[in-house]
Amino acid sequence: MEIPPPLEVDVISDVMCPWCFIGKRRLERAMELVPQRPFEIRWRPFQLDATIPPDGMDRQTYLDRKFGRDQAREIYANIEAVGAAEGIDFAFDRIEKSPNTLDAHRFIRWSANSGHQNQAVERLFAAFFIEGEDIGAKDVLLDVACEIGMDDQIVEQLLDSDADIELVEKEIALAHRMGVNGVPAFVIANRYIVMGAQSPELLADAFKRAADDMVEAPAEGS
C-alpha cells in the first residue's frame, strides 16, 4: 500500500501560553485519530506579550497588570482543571517570572534544523509550566539543548548573537496579518486554520478534510 504524503500542520504557538500546551496534547490525540496519515508538524512563533522586558517580569506583577489578582486566580484555576484532564500537572505557583519568549522562539527555530523541534517545544512547556523555570534565560535554554541532543556550544553562540531575531519577528507579524490574534492556531496543509485549543475530534476532522482536498486537487487541475 502506497504511503500518502505527510499532512503539513503549522502550529502557531507561544511557549508561555498554557492553552498552547493543552493544544499540543490535543494535537497529539488528534493525530492518533488519523493513523493512516503521516504528519509533518512545524512550530511557528507568536508572542502573547512582546512588551515583557528581555530579562522577564515578576510573575505576580505581570498577572496583576494583565488580569487583576482575583480574575487571574479564577482563570488559572480553570486552566489547571482543563490541563489535568489532558494529563498536564500545571504548577503555576512555581512560576516566579513571566519571560520574554523571543529567545525561546529562536531556540525552537534552530531545533528544527537538527530534527529536535517537537522535543524542544515539549521540554520548554514542561520547564515553564511544571518546573517553574525561566525559559527566557540563556542557561535554561542551554540545559534544554543538552537534554534533547542539540549542540549546546552552537546554541550558545547563536543566543549571544542577533541570529534570526528579524526572521522570528517577521513570522509573528505574518501570523497577525493572517488574522491570528490568539494562540494556539493550527494551519493545516495551507488550506485551513483552526483557532484555539480545539478538541482532538475537531482537529482530526479538519485533518481528514485537508487530506481529501490534497487527493482531489490534482484531478481538478488536470
In the chain, which stretches have pLDDT less than 70? Answer: 1, 216-222
| pLDDT the model gives residue 1 | 62
Cell of 220: 481538478
- Report which of 5, 27, 73 is spatially closest to residue 215, judged by C-alpha positions: 5
| pLDDT the model gives residue 219 | 42
- How confident is the model over 72-86, as pLDDT tens digits? 999 999 999 999 999
| pLDDT the model gives residue 220 | 43
Q: Where are the beta strands (DSSP E) in the chain?
A: 7-13, 39-45, 57-58, 97-98, 185-188, 192-195
* Sign of the C-alpha dihedral computed for residues 44, 98, 72 and 27 taken in this order: positive
Cell of 61: 506583577
Residue in the structure block whose three cell numbers are 504528519: 39
Question: What is the residue extent of each domain of the chain?
Answer: 7-221
Residue in the structure block whose three cell numbers are 548573537: 161
| pLDDT the model gives residue 222 | 41
The third-level CATH classification (topology) of the domain covering 7-221 is Glutaredoxin (3.40.30)
| pLDDT the model gives residue 208 | 95
- Report which of 167, 160, 113 is spatially closest to residue 138, judged by C-alpha positions: 160
